[in-house]
Homo-oligomer: A and B are copies of this chain.
Amino acid sequence: MKAARLHEYKKPLTVEEVPTPTPGPGQVLVKIAGSGFCHSDLHVIDKEIELPLPLPLTLGHENAGYVAAVGKGVTMVREGDAVVIFGGWGCEACGPCVSGHEQLCDSPQWAGLSKWNGGYAEDILVPKESYLVKLSRLDPRRAAPLADAALTPYRAVKKALPFLEPDYKALVIGLGGLGQYGVKFLKILSGCELIAVDISDEKLKIARNDGAEHTLNGRDPDLREKVMDLTNGKGVCAAFDFVGSDQTLAAAVSVTRSLGKVTQVGLGGGTANLKVLANSRFEVAFEATLWGTLKELREVTALAENETLSLEETEFAPLDRINEVCERLKRGGVAGRIVVTP
């Protein structure tokens, strides 16, 4: 099969022929329909995040496709089933794993980010059948981003539910692929009015279409004051920072009420600074959430299957041109997810 492999950090991926894996007992081979190109892979390619393992490696952790072959003992799926693939594989033995938080495993075995190859390929070997979430209505090519671009903001919103009180407003900073899903999940799971912030007027418009009641341009020098005005001086009950820079985190912290929560989503690279009586109120909870659980992927998939969640616009690119995708993402300006198709 063809695979796009990372042979050396800071170098383009090599699209080459590799042996197609054979599923062992309990394992499943999935023919990739689409593999979303996630921004975090850029960090890996550029060695900003270094993986503790030898290269080459096939990246790609946001995958969906069709079951191609099943190993011995597999009973839940059969050849031809359309599936989206949970990628946050773990050791199944550490504290996070046995409490249902496998993506937070002490020794992560993530698809495409560990010894297990990912989905920038024609096929992917999945070590356990329960990692597969079956699709009934959705096209797996379009469903691939559920596995990360939708799952990650879903968990962020779900963990903030106890803070989302409808007599307060919530704030979303950064309306790229994940942030847009953030807005959608906040409308699905809470009754809070939303204040959406981005530096792109086009993205603010998308947010309004997705239900955000208020939008502000992130370049506005009076941003903080405007948020406080919109909340009658009370501050927001929950802020979600999908940018994750020092500046956006500082803004999120400064406008969040006591008993509220600031969530950092994704690998932005900024530092959150919290100092009570200075830049933060008391009892503001802060947390940087990570990806989502298998259970949460089932929930996200159910929401997409029954159209409670509408999928974002997706662009497709063939596997052979994956390095062009990579370059375009580095340059920025890509509106939504680009899904790589074999």
Contact = CB atoms under 8 A, between A and B. Distances in A.
A284 B288 contact: yes
A275 B284 contact: no
Nearest to A266: B276
Most chain B CB within a 10 A radius of its CB, from A267, A285, A293: A285
A86 to B, nearest CB: 9
A283 B167 CA distance: 24
A273 B271 contact: yes
B277 A287 contact: no
A308 B275 CA distance: 34
Contacts of A258: 96, 101, 104, 290
A189 interface: yes
Nearest to A188: B191
A308 B166 contact: yes
Nearest to A164: B189
A273 B272 contact: yes
Interface residues of A, number: 67
A274 B271 contact: yes
Given A191-B188, A191-B308, A299-B191, A95 B168 contact: yes
Interface of A: 25, 49, 76, 92-93, 95-101, 104, 106, 128-130, 161-162, 165-168, 188-191, 193, 213, 234, 257-259, 264, 267, 269-278, 280, 282-290, 293-295, 298-303, 306, 308-309
Given A101-B259, A191-B299, A272-B274, 20 more contacts: A49-B277, A76-B93, A95-B298, A106-B234, A161-B162, A165-B299, A167-B298, A167-B299, A189-B189, A189-B190, A189-B191, A191-B309, A193-B306, A267-B277, A272-B273, A274-B274, A274-B286, A274-B288, A276-B288, A283-B288
